[in-house]
Structure 1
Amino acid sequence: MAPPRLIEQAVMATEVSTRDFAWPDFDRWQAAFAAARIFPPRWEGLHRAPPAHTPEAEAYRLRKLGLLAEWLDMLARRSTVHAHFARQGIRARVERQDRRLPCPACDPLNMREVGAQLDAMPPFHPGCRCVVVAVPIEPAGRRRKSYERLRPRIE
């Protein structure tokens, strides 16, 4: 049997898929991206809501539902990813996978090391394409070049 959390998500997704649904985090991010006039690549077709009861509205709702399912899945996995690196004593950093367009939410966090806080780990917004990667260990005796600088840790 599936874990209760997955069952709850499946029930919610079924309920959501039968009608239009409210998602305050989505609305907040949509407003922020619209104000910045930059939408991340995963937000294709979600820049603004179409008129209700149209084929475009149905496509919009399904696209938004897909983004919600992905968002919930990524949030649920965040602690596992963090534990993976922490258990092995590996430093990790945030890295954007998709650099086609700038992302006002992710750009300031790109290449920063993650600390103990889960909020400092992706996903930072619905549709976030950032990942956590291991920080390469520098060989002993290697001196940092003058143009290399340390990135601050996200706490």
Structure 2
Amino acid sequence: MLELTPELKERLLAASLAARAHSHSPYSRYQVGAAILDEQGRIHVGANIENAAYPQGWCAEATALGAMVMAGGREAKAVLVSGPGPNVITPCGGCRQKLREFATAELLILAADPGGIRQQWTLGELLPHSFGPDHLKF
């Protein structure tokens, strides 16, 4: 598992919280932000985007992954997801699988709210025995 410096954790937290401010969540009013650290040390952000046709919205992690890929990033090294609190937020099942496409089981996932970082896991802990790109190599 990647060890993040306190300064890098603070940068990820600030980026994720800033992304929350851009959430389009008029239905749930549950703003989520995500910040992804890529293999080049860059931080990519996203927020949840809801849609009146409920299943058509997308999560903050998906938005941040799209930003990472569009910027040329190919591997997520750490992810910080922030919600409003007080309950700890984790990536949903679909986002865990999306993250798996661009990361190993050792991906560090941090959960935060406006008060700071609350908990952390690896992707392997949140998505054990996952299916990923390595399964499709022949």
For the superposition of Structure 1 and Structure 2, which TM-score range results when normalised by the shorter chain? Answer: under 0.3
Give the structure with the higher percent helix: 1
Give the structure with the higher percent strand: 2
Length-normalised TM-score, structure 1: 0.23
Length-normalised TM-score, structure 2: 0.25
Structure with larger Rg: 1
Query: Relative contact order (alpha carbons < 8 A, sep ≥ 6): 1 or 2 greater?
Result: 1
